[in-house]
Amino acid sequence: MTANLAPDDVSDIVQEELQRFSIVGTRAAFASVMCSPHRQDRTWDWNQGQTVDVWVVAQVEALDVLLVYSQGGYADPWGCVSASDRLLGMDAQWYASLEDAVIESGAWKGALPPGYEVR
């Protein structure tokens, strides 16, 4: 579970994900919004009584978006959630890779390679 992780564990997970980035500029875009991992409790949009632990790993302040990691929410571990509330967001806001989350967050503004699909 995400609650059993420490900030250093999450930093290691982020570093592993960064090694998988393949689109030019996405790594630099993430670095520009990255923050020290810190844990938050968020609630499901459709079930306000149930909370999920997430780790905030970046903040795109201009767009009110946090990039988060969670092992206990949706099937995909990387999310783009609102910074102005404590909701987990919809499943369409969660991605299989951190790079996809960075792209979808608006932190990166480059052109996508031909055939690119969000996973």
The model's pLDDT over 14-61, given as tens digits with 9 standing for 90+, comes to 999 999 999 999 999 999 999 999 999 999 877 767 899 999 999 999
- Classify burial at 81, counting beta carbons within 10 Å of its beta carbon; exposed 0-12, middle 13-18, buried 19 or more: buried
Give the residue, 115 or 102, on which the prediction is more confident.
Answer: 102
What pLDDT is recorded for position 61?
93
pTM (2 d.p.): 0.92
Report the range of poorest mean pLDDT among 2-11, 42-51, 91-100. Answer: 42-51
Predicted local distance difference test score (pLDDT) of residue 72: 87
* Tokens describing residue 50: 């149930």
For residue 113, pLDDT over 90 is answered with no
Would you say residue 11 has pLDDT above 70?
yes
pLDDT in tens, 57-94: 999 999 999 999 999 889 999 999 999 999 999 999 99
- Closest among 101, 97, 107, 92 to 45, alpha carbons compared: 92
pLDDT for res 1: 57
Cα torsion at 14, 19, 21, 23 (round to 10°)? 140
Per-residue pLDDT at 48 = 67
